[in-house]
Amino acid sequence: MKTVLFPVLGAVAVFAAGVTPSTAGDRYADRPPVMVSPDLSAPWVLQLGHAPGIVRQNRQVVQQPRLRYAQPGQPDRVQTAAVQPPSKRMVMRPQINPIYLPQEVAYDGPQKPGTIVIDTTQNFLFLVEKNGKARRYGVGTGKPGFEWSGTHKITNKREWPDWRPPAQMIKREAAKGRYLPTYLAGGLENPLGARALYIGTTEYRIHGTNQPWTIGGAVSSGCIRMRNEDVVDLYERVNVGTTVEVI
């Protein structure tokens, strides 16, 4: 395992960079390097899969504070990594398009307030509000061959859900040389992220992700992905029994 430095506006963030051949996070692609925000206390930092180690500012070592979405049961401490210069320049993947960040928008659809509407063409989730408004979030949706539509209810809600990949998914990924676990406990490495809203009696969920850079694309096996901080926000706003309309 080697360490990688990312200089950001006078600060340096240290991460342990590596790829584990059989982790759940590599179902579709290896985890890319990520350009870190200057705000290292932002909740999304923990979605990178490992808590950042230390931040050096003005030659002083500053420990990272505990973040809002700390994994349950983890000690309240910061892990550190040795500082070494990168061996070569790395190509950064573009950050999430700001259009997919949560925002209030005008909404003139026929659904009543409190309904969740998921537009799988534009990759938006709308939580319909009163007075012609909606709260809009960017989402990741089913990749080609995994699209679906329909109207259901939220039947369950879970924090830091466990993941049991369906047998068909395990078989499908094994054919590609990617071997999934039959069970993965909830946590930062779990592809279901911080929260899950279960849709009807289907195998689909609205859930968080440990791959936030995929939001805005057709990337899943039918589930609706959200950034962890966004699914936490939605989770607090809706109840079991909420109508979900996927179009």
Whole-number Å distance between alpha carbons of 16 and 1:
7
- 190 carries an active-site annotation: no
β-pairing, 54-57 with 11-17? antiparallel
3-state SS string for 190-227 = CCCCCEEEEECCCCCEEECCCCHHHCCCEEECCCEECC
Catalytic choice (27, 195, 205, 207): 207
What are residue 136's DSSP bridge partners? 103, 126
Reference 101, options 212, 205, 207; nearest CA is 212
Residue at token pair 């990617």: 178
- 50 carries an active-site annotation: no
Catalytic choice (223, 224, 226, 246): 223
Q: Can you list the alpha helix ranges (DSSP code H) found in 167-225?
A: 167-174
Distances in Å between the Cα of 64 and the Cα atoms of 1, 70, 72, 91, 188 are 22, 12, 17, 26, 17
**Which residues have a catalytic role annotated?**
207, 223
